[in-house]
Structure formats: structure tokens, C-alpha cells
Amino acid sequence: MKTELTKKIEYLIFKNTTKLGVGGCREVKIGTHKTKSLLTGEQEFVDYMTITSDGEISCYEIKSSMNDLKSTARLSFLGHKNFLVLPHTLYLQVANERWFLEKLENHSIGIIVLDENNKLRLLKKCKKKKLSIGTQTLLLESFARSAARDAKKLYDLEIKKLPKKRKHPMKTANLTVFFQTSNSEQLIENLKSTTTMISHTNAIPSKESSDYIIFVLYHPTDIEETLTEITSYPDTFINRAMYLDKAQSLEDNETVRTTIATTIINQFDNRHKTIYYQNEPISSASDYLKNKDSKNNINVVQFNNTLHCTLYSQTDEETYVFKSQD
């Protein structure tokens, strides 16, 4: 794990070496399992590497503490130019130590220090090495592979910053439902656990009975699923409902409205054993209406014992009132 000091030094190397004609990359993994033997035979990492447009390769090894400097980790001085980068205070402690001078490969390695002003300062120049074509090729390949790794990390980070997919799709559909219920508290609790998105709920006393009318604005993504859910609430029925989806065509909106009206009619049939039309018993309101012309629209309002259905054809409209005594 990098220390904050190591990260600071790494950034300052990047900042000081970034200019036209120079490319840089951190943590360059040298070679692969098959090609590492072409250099030292060990798996090595260069803390920071730069390559100029004319092919000059520089390697920077960062040491931020005494333990780090004395560790057995290899110092990968493999470039044409090689530098050891460390805090100035640390350098002063080891400048004349034999083991430290041995690490500098007979004074061929340059020294860069982080001074008290948090700036990098070249303390000792390096001796330029000659590299074989094979070594240069391996280092260039290693640089490209590590740069590609960093590019992937950058792309992954950018993808994470992209707007996340909405938990719910956009609210394009609006289904306004007026429930009539004898137990408003229970219905409101049921609405809290609904799987369909709701943006508004309001309860008002019914003028026709002691029941409550609960007004709910839904934003359904699956109208069939929503209708199944809203017809399952106990001690409750749909008084009326309205639907509009601006993202759909007029024809598609009408189809959904017909489906909603049919759902309310079926709910009325299921709530009552005996249904009358003009004082005559019928099997069900849905059966009675199935052959009626309602191509243009159908409007349905349901009460405790009454169902009002208005059918709109191309030339006319007609209202049917169904009643029940149970």
C-alpha cells in the first residue's frame, strides 16, 4: 500500500516530466512471465517511467522511508537514465552509508530529493546507460502494456461517473385512481408497500356513504400488473380511474383506458351475486356490455351498489346503470 508521501512524490515526478514529446507511466511491470528472463530474471516494477519522442527511457525509483530504502525489493534501474527519488531528510541520513552507495551502482544513479518546500530537486546527475535493442524493445512493450492498464482504469472510473440507470423508469404514464374503502387506514398501509410507483396519496370522506375516497396517482410501467395489484386490496373497490401517457399514441392510450374500464366492470361483477339492469336480473354487467359499441371510449364509475357505464361510439353515447341489492 502506497503511503501519502509516496503518492505525493509520484505526482510531482509526473508533473515535472510531463511536457511535449515525453510520455509517462507509473508502476511499469517489466516483461511477462516468459520475457522477464531477458533482463534480470526477476519480476520487476519501475515506480515511474518516461519515454521521450526520440526513444530515451528514464526510470524513477521512489523511496519514502528508511524501511522502504532498506527493503529487499529490487531497484529497477533499467533505463538509459535512472534516478532514486527520496525525501531530502532521508537522503541526509544515508548519503555516506556504504550500503546506500552500493544501491547507486557506483554513482551511476542520479539523486532527486523532495525538499522542505515540497518540490523535487535534482541533487546528483545520473550517468547515461547504453541499452541493447532487445532491452529497449522489452521496456517499450512493458511501458505500453502498463499504460493500457491505466487507460482501462480511467475508462472504468468514467463509466462509474455516468448517470446510473434509474431504479424506476421515467414517470411518463399517469394513472389516477379513486378508491372507495371502508377501512382507509388499512388501504393506506397497503399502498405504502405497493410495488408500483406512487407520487401522491390523499384521503377524503365519501359524500355517498360513510366510506372514504382515497385518491392515488400512480406511474405504472406495467399496466396489467398494476391493475392486478389495485383490485386486490381488501374492503376496497375502484370508484373511477383516469389514464394518460404522453409517450404513447392516442390509440394506445384509448386501449389502456378500455382495459381499465373493463377491470372496474369485472370488479363490480365479482363484488355482487345478483346484478340488475332496468330492474331485470342479468348474469353480469360485462356480459351485457360485451356486444355494445364502445370503439371511441368507455367511462366507468363504480359505487357500493351501482355501476355507471358510458359508452362512446362514433356517432353517439349511451349510459348504462347497473344495480345490486346485496
Nearest-angstrom CA–CA distance, 98 and 93:
12
The residue assigned the cell 356490455 is: 289
Euclidean distance between the first and the last CA atom of the chain, given in angstroms as a whole number: 77
Mean pLDDT score, 21-25: 92
| C-alpha dihedral (218, 222, 225, 229), degrees to nearest 10 | -10
Q: What residues form DSSP beta bridges with 174? A: 244
3-state helix/strand/coil string of 43-106: CEEEEEEEEECCCCEEEEEECCCHHHHHCCCCCCCCCCEEEEEEEHHHHHHHCCCHHHHHHCCC
Class of domain 4-161: alpha beta
The pLDDT, as a whole number, for residue 209 is 67
Taking the domains of the chain in order of start, what are their residue ranges? 4-161, 173-323
The pLDDT, as a whole number, for residue 2 is 81
H/E segment holding residue 177: strand 173-181
Provide the 8-state DSSP code for 135.
H
pLDDT in tens, 88-114: 999 999 988 888 888 787 678 999 999
The pLDDT, as a whole number, for residue 322 is 96
Report which of residues 209 and 227 the model is more confident about. 227
Cα→Cα distances 228→70, 129, 168, 180, 238, Å = 72, 79, 19, 17, 12
The pLDDT, as a whole number, for residue 224 is 86
Q: Which of 14-28, 160-174, 187-201 has the lowest average pLDDT? A: 160-174
